[in-house]
């Protein structure tokens, strides 16, 4: 099969037009596409996370990894269930294990978290949450427990020593160099820890430019550094912001290689590896807006209904509610069930388009092969990002 590659300007023009159509009629297209994701992966089990022995290892009781793609730790002294951690392998274009999306470590799971980093040969950790919710009340909810020494120094987590070597403060993020080694072993590894605290829980950053610049910096780091293992990405639950970040970075990689982005297909693939990746419509729209910004066009970005979709519910769903709703959908659905409405105030039109657009034709062609390995099949890993001279590539 052949798939055509395009110049960046061409991708921008077509993608801008596509986003305009999604934003029409109060974001009806965005809402429709997001609702179509509601039944994704309902057939997958989460038995390991539901075991009584593992319940206390979950930050949120209803956010659990699928059994078929959960990260398994080595057993500690043959202890049953010591292989469990709330973490999932997710694709990023080359393999099914490009990323590990996980919950923020709890005090009781920090040793397991660092054991995962060691066993999976992780070199980069991306943290897209603040430690606490930025509320004015004193009892702010903890979104992530501090799991590395904040200043120069060493902390011990199980059999591993974690040393903060240096810390640099960028405009909107912190970049920390961490040295990781096992006790009684002088050979260690260097970990780069990216900390982006300005992204609110279940929301979107106020400044898209900031997130785009941060994601592009991480993307270049990953492209320039030979990777031994997966890249770890986490927020608090490891689903909404983590999934959004991975989707943006993954689709940036495709665009850089001349492949138009398909946000819907990418998010659907992510959701087959971890529950509720890209958790709400606001985040789904954010993926599109960040890609438009990154593609570099100076044309006006498509307008959206007050930048986000407003729901009828007065308060956003908690992670517990989201997971319960998701489990109820799985329980009450069969193979012919249509996606449920999320009770949005946006009215969605299901009138089919009079003719198939070039963008739709491309999206249909992308469905014929595994999107999780799209990047690998398009361009060999040894090829350079900037080369788009060959416009017909075998897949």
Length of the chain: 395
174-182 and 160-169: which strand pairing? antiparallel
Tens-digit pLDDT profile for residues 267-276: 999 999 999 9
Fold for domain 2-314+341-394? 3.90.190
Tens-digit pLDDT profile for residues 22-46: 999 999 999 999 999 998 898 999 9
Tens-digit pLDDT profile for residues 113-135: 999 999 999 999 999 999 998 75
Helix (H, G, I), strand (E, B) or coil at 264: helix
Q: Does residue 235 carry a catalytic annotation? A: yes
> What pLDDT, on a 0 to 100 scale, did the predictor assign at position 378?
44
230, 97 Cβ separation under 8 angstroms: yes
> What pLDDT, on a 0 to 100 scale, did the predictor assign at position 302?
46
For residues 303 and 343, the model is more confident at 303
* Entry pTM: 0.80
Tens-digit pLDDT profile for residues 218-247: 999 999 988 789 999 999 999 999 999 999
Shortest CA distance to 193 belongs to which of 125, 260, 147, 100? 125
- For all residues of the chain together, what is the average pLDDT? 81
Is residue 380 over pLDDT 80? Answer: no
Confidence at 185, pLDDT banded by 50, 70, 90: confident
The phi, psi pair for 340, rounded to 5°, reads -75, 155
Confidence at 315, pLDDT banded by 50, 70, 90: very low
- Locate the domains of the chain by residue range: 2-314+341-394
Q: List C-alpha distances in Å: 104 to 131, 142, 147, 351.
A: 9, 10, 9, 42
Catalytic residue among 101, 144, 235, 290: 235
CB neighbour class for 319 (10 Å; exposed up to 12, middle 13-18, buried from 19):
buried
């Amino acid at each position: 099969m052949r798939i055509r590659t395009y110049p960046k300007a061409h991708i921008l023009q077509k993608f801008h037009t596509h986003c305009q159509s999604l934003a029409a009629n109060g974001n009806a297209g965005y809402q429709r596409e997001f609702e179509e994701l509601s039944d994704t992966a309902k057939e997958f089990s989460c038995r390991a996370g539901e075991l009584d022995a593992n319940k206390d290892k979950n930050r949120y009781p209803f956010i659990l990894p699928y059994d078929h793609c959960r990260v398994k730790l080595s057993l500690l002294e043959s202890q049953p269930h010591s292989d469990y951690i709330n973490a999932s392998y997710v694709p990023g274009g080359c393999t099914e294990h490009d990323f590990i999306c996980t919950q923020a470590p709890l005090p009781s799971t920090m040793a397991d978290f660092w054991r995962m980093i060691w066993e999976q040969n992780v070199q980069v950790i991306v943290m897209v949450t603040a430690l606490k919710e930025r509320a004015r009340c004193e009892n702010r909810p903890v979104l992530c427990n501090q799991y590395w020494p904040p200043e120069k120094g060493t902390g011990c987590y199980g059999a591993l020593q974690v040393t903060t070597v240096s810390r640099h403060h960028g405009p909107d993020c912190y970049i920390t160099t961490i040295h990781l080694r096992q006790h009684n072993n002088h050979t260690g590894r260097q970990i780069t820890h990216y900390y982006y605290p300005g992204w609110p829980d279940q929301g979107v950053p106020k400044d898209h430019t900031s997130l785009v610049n941060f994601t592009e910096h991480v993307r270049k780091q990953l492209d320039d550094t030979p990777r031994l293992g997966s890249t770890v990405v986490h927020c608090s639950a490891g689903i909404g912001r983590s999934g959004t970040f991975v989707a943006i970075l993954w689709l940036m990689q495709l665009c850089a290689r001349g492949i138009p982005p398909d946000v819907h297909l990418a998010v659907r693939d992510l959701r087959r590896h971890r529950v509720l990746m890209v958790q709400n419509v606001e985040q789904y729209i954010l993926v599109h807006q960040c890609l438009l910004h990154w593609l570099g066009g100076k044309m006006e970005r498509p307008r959206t209904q007050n930048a986000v979709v407003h729901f009828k519910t007065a308060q956003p769903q908690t992670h517990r509610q989201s997971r319960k709703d998701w489990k109820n959908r799985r329980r009450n659905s069969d193979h012919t069930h249509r996606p449920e409405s999320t009770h949005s105030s946006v009215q969605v039109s299901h009138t089919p388009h009079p003719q198939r657009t070039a963008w739709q034709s491309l999206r249909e062609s992308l469905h014929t092969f595994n999107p999780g390995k799209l990047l690998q099949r398009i361009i060999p890993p040894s090829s350079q990002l900037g080369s788009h001279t060959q416009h017909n590539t075998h897949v």
